[in-house]
Amino acid sequence: MSNQNQNTRSTEALFEPYTIGNLTLSSRVVMAPMTRGFSPNGVPGPNVAAYYRQRAENGVGLIITEGTLIDHPAATDNPNIPNFHGEAALNGWAEVVRQVHEAGGKIMPQIWHIGMTRPVGAEPNPEALPIGPSGLDLEGNLVTKPMTIDEIKQVIQAYADAAANAKRIGFDGVEIHGAHGYLIDQFLWERTNQRTDEYGGDMLKRARFAIEVVKAVRQAVGPDFPVAIRLSQWKTTQYEAKLADTPEKLGQLLTALSDAGVDIFHCSTRRFWEPEFEGSELNFAGWAKKLTGKTVITVGSVGLDEVFTSLFTQGKGAGHKDIDELLNRLEKHEYDLVAVGRALLADPQWAAKVRDGRFDELEPFTPESLNTLV
């Protein structure tokens, strides 16, 4: 699409301040959480701080970090994913916070457990078996035993401890990763949750684990610290999956999470412009806004002409696409904030260039972008 069209369209709505409780963001642009794997032994170093600082210096209102690991031996399958526990990792994150704040930005960690997507025998703790509601992987295969009630309680406490640490070291909020087929989502999804106790059954029973995580996080951080949750219908490798096939079912889930203490719904889709349900143009974030009235973040191929899965299936990068539709929906208050992923990964100055109308200077996303932390 032509840059001329881009240059004549005002991007002002994207750069208006936004306030959530006591937190004011300088713009509506959010850096989406993206797994990078540049934290050896789980410790983020100066390169990680510089990476996030660059985005804060260039028009991003809120940074949501890559997924960071709660304190559980089976939380990951990669020793280069950053921890959110232990003195060394938390000191590293404190420096990230300092740098982002010095640059005028705001930042939340995303706290994460991958659940049953962890292969048996994976590093960094090969003796730790993967955990999940029913011991089933995303294809429905039995891998290990279901989590016990004691294990569930321990993991809920680990989320709460991570949130408390986020507040203690100066973050501006915390995001719970409840999307993409990882642990919390495995409880939400009927294929991976076949429990017959209080943590399984209908939508609200399957949501009990997520609700208890949110309540524990809220209790750990108090009433005024922003709590976000990232949700998706789709799962990693299961892109047609749905938690809710009607607005009514979605409303059940979102209302319960809202009541538990969620301030912000981060609604993950692969293409932000696609309607969530037949009969309405609203996307997932739009429905979350309509159903809860809470702050919502939209995400999904913002500014790019290819979805992220084309990278893995075809080795393809992505070129630029205008953001007129994004701006139209933002101006209609379909959503409040806009998360940008690969476009910001490829170009730390993406937000500043869009703000200033310098569309012809935007860097394309390439597969090579994943190999460096800049």
Sequence length of the chain is 374
* CA atoms of 358 and 104, how far apart (whole Å): 22
Helices (H), 121-246: 149-168, 183-188, 203-206, 208-221
What secondary structure letter does DSSP report for 20? Answer: E
* CA atoms of 349 and 67, how far apart (whole Å): 22
Neighbours of 16 (CB within 10 A): 12
Instruction: Clarify whether 51 is annotated catalytic.
Output: no
For residues 112 and 185, the answer to whether their CB atoms sit within 8 Å is no
* CA atoms of 36 and 34, how far apart (whole Å): 6
* CA atoms of 339 and 266, how far apart (whole Å): 9
Neighbours of 40 (CB within 10 A): 11
Structural tokens at position 256? 């319960």
* CA atoms of 371 and 228, how far apart (whole Å): 29
Catalytic residue among 51, 182, 199, 335: 182
Q: Catalytic residue positions?
A: 182
